[in-house]
Amino acid sequence: MIKGKVRVDRRTKNLVRRLRPGEIPVIMHEDIDEVAAYSLLEKKVRVVINCAKSFTGKFPAVGAKILLAHDVIIIDNLGEDVFNRIREGDVVEIEDDKIFLNGNYLCIAKYLTKEEFESFYQKSFKEMENLLEDFIENTLEYAKKEKGFILGQFEMPDISTKIAGRHVLVVTRGSSFKKDIKAIKGYITEVKPVVIAVDGAADALLEEKIRPNIIIGDMDSVSEESLYKCDEIIVHSYPNGYAPGLRKIQALGLKAKTIACPGTSEDVALLLAYEKGAELIVSVGSHSSMLDFLEKGRKGMSSTFLVRLKIGSKLVDARGVSKLYTEKVSFKYIGVLLFSALIPILAILMVTPPFQYFFYLIQLKLRVILR
């Protein structure tokens, strides 16, 4: 039997910020993505109650696979009605195939097993091929409509952070972004680039003792601590000017600039760095593949295609850079290191009188033996 208090949220990235060890997350997350899965694992969850389908089979989303590989129990696809009946702080008990809410029977527990997942996962690659044509068509169609995004129709706000002639690091919550941040910490320390965080990526940067200069986004997943510690805040609003994130900033007594344009906040961050004269733009955690966008619920990547078309000559995509390095240390290198350390020790011993006498005795002994 598993028992615990629940945290409830339709958005997993908001829920994990409130989740404490021993609590049970109740989410409404169709096709759990990699970032969401790892954020749940960081909270040491034993079970996840998902009222949507953790894996629909439309495309190879890997979130459920990651959770199952770490022996997290997934209770799946319980439906909208069950989600609406559970409140934050309620106590849930899971006993075999039954779920109880505050001591009363709630519903049958539907488990997603590793075997069931694998059978659908392999089929999803074929479905992905069918989606590709629609994805391309959607991308090209909206690229025509949104081309003004890179042709200067949307004016970038004035900022106090000096970007011209400097390196700019743009960090987004994407695949392996936390590992990649650690992998390039040497670059960050040495070059000291301007750091632009997209929404909740600012929190991950602070965990690594890296303070973002600018935070860009709709402010739905960034902590108050990050907002207080950064230099500037830019709220990404809808093209019509509606900026729900601005209310959050104002409620904290902070100031922010806004930019109203289509595209993702990541696109806006990259374009801002380019338009302000960055010498080089390094991106971490970027979304650049069809799978990335399908996991975010997007059916195309028009704005991303346009932005990368414009800034390509200055962009270095560091996504996955951590996979180029391993933690293993070769015994060959250890041997070389030890040998190098012995050389100065032997040199000192050779000029020390007691050891000179010792070596002389050994030399005499060898001569006697060789005769």
Return the beta strands (E) in the chain as ranges: 2-9, 24-27, 47-50, 73-75, 91-95, 98-101, 104-108, 167-171, 194-198, 214-217, 232-237, 257-260, 280-284, 315-317
Percent of the chain exceeding pLDDT 90 equals: 55
Predicted local confidence at residue 131, as pLDDT:
83
Partners of 168 in the β-ladder: 194, 281
pTM across the whole model = 0.77
Closest CA to 2 of 26, 32, 23, 20: 23
Residue among 271, 40, 332 nearest 149 (CA): 271
| Partners of residue 233 on adjacent β-strands | 215
Taking 80 as the threshold, does the pLDDT of residue 74 lie above it? yes
**Mean pLDDT of all residues in 36-57:** 95
pLDDT of residue 360: 60
Question: Does the pLDDT at position 359 exceed 70?
Answer: no
pLDDT at residue 331 in the model? 57
Note the pLDDT of residue 233: 96
Chain segment 79-103, per-residue pLDDT in tens: 999 999 999 999 999 999 999 999 9
In the prediction, which pLDDT does 30 show? 95
HSE-up of residue 276 (Cα within 13 Å, Cβ side)? 21
State the Cα–Cα distance between residues 33 and 78, nearest whole angstrom: 19
